[in-house]
Structure 1
Amino acid sequence: MEKNRHVLKEIIKVLLLCARQNVAIRGHTEERSNFIVILKLKSENDPILREHLSAGKDRATYLSPQIQNELIDLCARQIRDTLVTACNSAGCFGFIADEAKDCSTSEQISLCVRFYDRSTGEVKEYFLGFVEADSTTGEALAETFLNTLEEYGINVNNIRGQGYDGAANMAGKHRGVQARIRQRIPYANYTHCRAHSLNLAIVHACKEPLIRNLMDTVQTIAFAFDYSAKRLLQFKESLELDRDVKDAMDRKTKIKTLCETRWFSRVDSLTTFLKCYDVIVAALEELSEDGDSKARSHVCSILQFDFIVALVTAEHVLAPTNPLSALLQAKEQDLLEAVKECQAVISILQAERADDTVWEAIFSKCEEVGTTHNIAASVPRVVGRQQHRYDIPASDNQEFKREIQRWKARWADVVDKPATLADSLRAIRTPELYPNVYHILEILLSMPVSSASAERSFSIMRRLKTYLRSTMTGDRLSSLAVLHSYRETDIDLDKIIEKFAAKKPRRLVLQ
């Protein structure tokens, strides 16, 4: 029995190594797979394992893909059970979900939970796994979400917040996922992902014709340099000749392309383009002289004063959105702090819009950039009638009340009051004194600010399920994703073996 358990432990260790490091377990042939090769390497210094592998078909080797899936699933469940226990002990939690297609065109749904951990005094957001969706209607997705959470062992009646993007099937008022879930759990309030809302606001603002044309031009030129070795080499040579720009680029040697989905990240691309504007012009002119017809059209499009004005202004206006976006995607962020930070950015932009000195500084910078290339400041032609402008003027109530009064009196003479919801909860040393206040703060903290945790899990999915591993099943993908996400988490191998042995009769004696 001890020998059998030792062999199975070594098999599990290899599977965990591959899963945690995102190494493909199987290969085109089993004999040459990473799993078998690593086991054989370990067996060189392990006579018990070597004897087991050399036995071949005479005995159960426990190396088959079916056994691999069982062991991987048991390891992932051990981690997930720990997360579920912590979530259930919190009393209330927020639910976050998002969907994306994998490389085999299957619709994968990422399931995450958010709650306040009383033991550590911190807000936690945990990825629980993927589940394949047979249908993407609001009714089908809501049913899938709740059934899967119950399968994991989560008490779904404790949901107090839902966080999704603004897609109709998720956010629909009557037939969306959030509405369907609220029919069963009325207190599960829906929050539109704040990072997604910020992204939509920037998309809407960038529909202004000058900014829209700017984005198209910057993207076209970035692609022109990115996908041509000759043009990229010319850019690097021009960059070497301008030491000031090279230092400002901070060792970057390429123009950053615009992200098609995350518009708030475009400020980095615009900043890079503005820093190396002179180098880009020089490189395009050199390419034009060498007979590159596209380079000639590109250089003509950026040697315009209206392009420079749009570039400088857009880069300046979008600059505050990048730190705001990073803040909104933080796991420990709460809704109240998110609103405060959003209001701060709005206040900055409103104040700058009414400040003539800001516009004078922007215009001076535009003139400075234009003067280097003999571009005179000019006002573009406007039509007589502009109809689509974006900037046209334009329990017992009495007991609860007494508890609130005590809560206010508690902080009346305190100078250093808690700055965040989490700080307020940590300050309540005895929750029994303020049970309602404590529970309200817990609910507020559990309500999702963004669906960033779910979106991050899709990065894991794309690393795991590549075109070389496109036949991977949904269950195996979900388990591998959990093991890869929590690769620092220890696995109790003895418990895994006990569950494996108890699952059904085994040929080898394990307990």
Structure 2
Amino acid sequence: METEREREPKGTLLNGLAENQFHAYAHLCLIYKIIHDLSSPPLRQIIHTIDLPSTSAPSQTDKVMEEQQPARCARSEPNIVLKQEPLDPERVLARYPSDPAKWDQIDDRTREYFALNNPCQNIGDFSASQRKYGDINRSLTKEHFFRKKLNGETLSRKWLVYSPSTGTVFCYCCKLFSIRDNQFVTGFNDWKNCANRLHEHENSMDHRTAVLSLSSLGNKNARRDSNIVQQHESERAYWLNILKRIVATIQFLSSRGLPFRGDDELVGSPHNGNFLGCLELISRFDPLLSEHLARYGNKGRGHTSYLSSTVCDEFIQLMAKKVLHAIVKEVKDGKYFSIIVDSTPDITHVDQLALVIRYVLKKSGEPVERFLEFIPLHGHTAEHMEETLKSELKELDIDLMDCRGQSYDNASNMAGKYSGLQARIKNKNPNADFIPCSAHSLNLVGACAAECCLEAISFFGFIQNLYNFFSASTRRWEILTAHLTKCERGLTLKSLSSTRSSARADATKALRFGYKAIQDALNEIKVDHGTPRAAQYEASQLITVMETLETAVMTVLWDELLRRINFTSKALQEVQIDVCTVPILHSSLIEYMGQARNDFDVYEAEAKTLTATEGYKADSQRRRVKKVMFGESAGPEVRRSGREAFLIDTHYEDFTAEFCQFISMVKDEESVMAMYKKLLELGLRDAFPNVDICLRMYLTLPIANCSGERSFSLLKRVKTYRRATVTEKKLNAFALLAIENGFTTSLDFEDIIEDFTASKLRRKHL
């Protein structure tokens, strides 16, 4: 039979409740607020139709929950134990500080955390709590944290928490759950009447209600909604584990600069891109992810799966932001830095300025160069680039006055002495010394050296013609490859480059050590009846050039010279190199070049082993005798042998002078980097602070802007023809994660899930 209470209107349900029953109802309302994200209609019905709890029989609430629970748990969960990773103490302390005065935002998650984890009472130094009462100083004492009962027993006041920042005490239970403010919610510091106020507060009804609320929330197993809470936490753990797998996949792809999206976003499609493809691969060995893809994949818009490209882009931006913050933090820790910039047009003809920063790591003492971002340029004037650079550094909160070095290429708008970018930066900061890119300069010298005489121009033209001849036909290239495979070095012909001397070094190396094999390949093509007549004639012409002693000597000579130049150039491109090492490398290269002038006999002897010709072409040519006219005072013509003519025409005294301009007068036999590392290892930075600063500034100075040029390689891979419309923000995120992959792979990105959750209202409670 329906009781009177059941017939009573729901709005007047509380009229007959006792005081303790009212508090029980308030507790359930609080619990309902905590789990409001579930948005459960049955739960609202439970709250509105709730009856008094009974110890003898199940309550109406329990019956409704038992009826409704199967409906919410209809989907089957995979039989997997979701392991919760341990929380980072620093992250937890930042989110939930031990000082109650710093609890600026008290939400449901904060209440639940402190219900399960009692805050630190901060018992110790109470100096900030001192107050003056006339001539007497009073402060908080340890005795205030204990309560003495009438029977002599002593109890700890675990609810009392001291705030070191304000010098007051709080009742953390009331601060979390009290609906009315009191002295122990806002901060109590009346030490003269402290004992009485503590006794009054702990016996007040508001305090006891707050303690009961805290206890109810903390004791999850005893709560009436424990099943719902457990289901809520299980679902939250499920989505967090899915997001961890998604973040790990994004971390893997971005660190390698791989594309994410394909032609579609369908799970199971062979054209869905690397992101979904990697998730499908992982799901073959991960039952949780496999179940997720089967249940939520291909659901379309309006269904939460966190597999869409939009969610992927959000995580990429969050990860790039964290990497950038980590780099900026290292820059600020090192204080002094240098800037390296270079620009190149992308596929959409937008000039992209790469900003790279060089600084010394505080712990290891090693100089590093970090990529920061690409900046689209709308002008090439030094003034425009200066304003762009200053605004970007200001946005990153990096002080330009701490800059101690600049390194650009030799363009006039960058390296101009009076109005270039380096001069403008130096006007703002006189300590920002400019160092031209040593690798660029040496590369230009190597390229110019290849055009120092007609014989050198003719020789490198022959190498390019040789490459063009074989690469013009797959049949000819197959014949060449078949002969070159007999060499132990695995050689292949290389094309020349108008700017990179290293390309010439690779080309001369292939010609020198594959000389016989290339001749055999040309001879085979010459007599091959399946080859066109024009190609046969061209092959015979190339054979004629290769059979001359001059070509063989030039091959050996230039291979030796360019190989040494290439070695020095690569050494100058190393990040760890310092200013002291550059003149040493230049001096060594000049000394080697001078020695090479005296070793011509050695080169000539090796050249004769490459070709059957023993003499120079000039020796076999007919000499033209000039007739001396009557009355002419000219003496007899000076005749030179082919060897002498070759030496005179190919060796210029200016060759050494081309390198002398890169020599610095500063010479130091000690390694500055080793000296600084020793200073750090011995812990003498405080003993020699000025030495520490000087060495850091010295190691910060850039030698080359090669790091900026390296970033262009990734720019060409990221911004391709099919991805020409990628936004600048997305481009920078991709580039930063791929170029600085050391940060991408080493940083812990689990905390970005919290940032992802807080950025907007999510369909799933995370």
TM tier relative to shorter chain:
0.7 to 0.9
Q: What does residue range 289-368 of structure 1 map to in structure 2 within 5 Å?
A: 289-290=527-528, 291=533, 292=535, 293-353=537-597, 355=598, 358-368=599-609
C-alpha contact 1:131 1:475 (8 A) present in aligned 2: no
Find 1:134's aligned residue among 346, 356, 378. 378
Cα gap change, 1:49/1:212 in structure 2, threshold over 3 Å: closer, same or farther? Answer: same
With normalisation by structure 2, the TM-score equals: 0.57
Residue number in structure 1 paired with 2:431: 187
Who is 1:161 aligned against?
405
Alpha-carbon distance in structure 2 between the residues aligned to 1:487 and 1:314: 38
Amino acid at match of 1:262: R
How far apart are 1:85 and its partner, in Å?
Answer: 0.8
3-state DSSP class of the match of 1:68? helix
Of 469, 473, 477, the match for 1:232: 477
Residue 495 of structure 1 corresponds to which residue in structure 2?
Answer: 751
Give the whole-Å Cα distance in 1 for the aligned partners of 2:577 and 2:654.
35
Deviates more, 1:40-49 or 1:176-185: 40-49
Between the aligned partners of 1:17 and 1:433, the Cα distance in structure 2 is: 44
Task: Determine which of 708, 716, 721 is the counterpart of 1:462.
Answer: 716
Cα distance in 2, alignment partners of residues 278 and 38 from structure 1: 49
Counterpart for residue 114 of structure 1: 358
Do the aligned partners of 2:447 and 2:499 also contact (CA within 8 Å) in 1?
A: no
Q: Secondary structure at the match of 2:370?
A: strand
Q: By how many angstroms is 1:108 displaced?
A: 2.0
1:273-284 equivalences under 5 Å are 273-284=511-522
**Alpha-carbon separation, structure 2, partners of 1:264 and 1:21:** 26
Of 222, 230, 233, the residue aligned with 2:467 is 222
Q: Cα distance 1:366–1:53, how it changes in 2: closer, same or farther (>3 A)?
A: closer
Instruction: Give the stretch that moved more between structures: 50-59 or 467-476.
Output: 50-59
Greater Cα offset, 88-97 or 460-469: 460-469
Aligned to 2:506: 268
Query: Counterparts of 2:725 and 2:677 in 1: how far apart (Å)?
Result: 47
CA RMSD of aligned residues (A): 3.1
CA distance in 2, matches of 1:227, 1:107: 34
CA distance in 1, matches of 2:716, 2:281: 29
Partners of 2:508 and 2:555 within 8 A in 1: yes
Give unpaired runs (5+ residues) of structure 1.
395-416
Provide closer, same or farther for how the CA distance between residues 92 and 326 of structure 1 changes in structure 2, counting only shifts above 3 A: same
Bigger mean CA offset, 51-60 vs 474-483: 51-60
Alignment of structure 1 residues 437-456 onto 2, 5 Å? 437-456=691-710
Structure 2 letter corresponding to 1:438: D
- In the alignment, does 2:672 pair up with 1:421? yes
User: Pick from 388, 391, 398: which aligns with 2:653?
Assistant: 391
Is the contact between residue 418 and residue 424 of structure 1 (CA under 8 Å) also seen in structure 2? no
Question: How far apart are 1:96 and its partner, in Å?
Answer: 1.4
Q: Secondary structure at the match of 2:612?
A: helix
- Name 1:485's counterpart in structure 2: 739
CA positional deviation for 1:508: 3.9
Task: Evaluate the alpha carbon distance shift between residue 437 and residue 136 of structure 1 in structure 2; reply closer, same or farther with a 3 A threshold.
Answer: same
Distance 2:725 2:614 in 1: 56
**3-state SS in 1 of match to 2:435:** strand
TM-superposed CA distance for 1:167, in Å, is: 1.6
Normalised to the residue count of structure 1, the TM-score between the two structures is 0.84
Q: How far apart, CA to CA, are the structure 2 residues paired with 1:300 and 1:42? A: 60
Conservation of the 8 A alpha-carbon contact between 1:52 and 1:61: yes
Look up the SS of the partner of 1:103 in the other structure. coil
Alpha-carbon separation, structure 2, partners of 1:164 and 1:331: 15
**Contact 1:96-1:451 within 8 A present in 2 as well:** yes
CA contact (8 A) 2:405 2:702 kept: yes
Deviation at 1:73, TM superposition (A): 1.3
Q: Is the 8 A contact 1:305 1:377 kept in 2?
A: no
For residues 495 and 333 of structure 1, the distance between their equivalents in structure 2, rounded to whole angstroms, comes to 36
User: How far apart are 1:97 and its partner, in Å?
Assistant: 1.7
Aligned length: 476
Q: Which of the two has greater helix per residue?
A: 1
Question: Which residue of the partner structure matches residue 431 of structure 1?
Answer: 685
Measured in 2, the distance between the counterparts of 1:486 and 1:298 equals 47
Report whether the alignment pairs 1:285 with 2:523.
yes
What is the deviation of 1:102?
Answer: 2.3
Deviations 1:118-163 (A, max 9, x none): 3012221222232222223222222222322333333332111111
8 Å CA contact 1:92, 1:158 repeated in 2:
yes
What is the match of residue 33 of structure 1?
Answer: 272
How far has the Cα of 1:40 moved from its partner?
Answer: 5.5
CA deviation profile, 1:57-108 (whole Å, cap 9, x unmatched) = 3344555544433321110121121121111111201111221222332222
Larger Cα-atom Rg: 2
- The answer to whether the Cα contact below 8 Å between 2:406 and 2:434 also exists between their aligned partners in 1 is yes
- Change in Cα spacing, 1:169 to 1:330, as seen in structure 2 (3 Å) is same
User: What is the one-letter code of the residue matched to 2:694?
Assistant: I
Aligned to 2:44: none
Give 1:493's aligned amino acid. F
Q: CA deviation at 1:486?
A: 3.7
Query: Which amino acid counterpart does residue 445 of structure 1 have in structure 2?
Result: L
Which amino acid letter does the alignment assign opposite residue 224 of structure 1?
F
Quick one: which amino acid aligns to residue 606 of structure 2? Answer: K
Check 1:361–1:280 CA distance in 2 against 1; reply closer, same or farther (3 A cut).
same
Contact residue 226 and residue 255 of structure 1 kept, 8 A: no
Structure 2 counterpart of 1:146:
390
Asked if 2 retains the 8 angstrom alpha-carbon contact of 1:193 and 1:451, the reply is yes
Runs of 5+ consecutive residues of structure 2 not aligned to the other structure: 1-235, 620-640, 658-667
> Does the 8 Å CA contact 1:308/1:366 hold for their aligned counterparts?
yes
Pick closer, same or farther for the CA change 1:308–1:438 going to 2, 3 Å: same
Q: 1:61–1:144: structure 2 CA closer, same or farther, 3 Å change rule?
A: farther
Cα pair 1:164 1:192 within 8 Å, conserved: yes
- Cα pair 1:370 1:376 within 8 Å, conserved: no
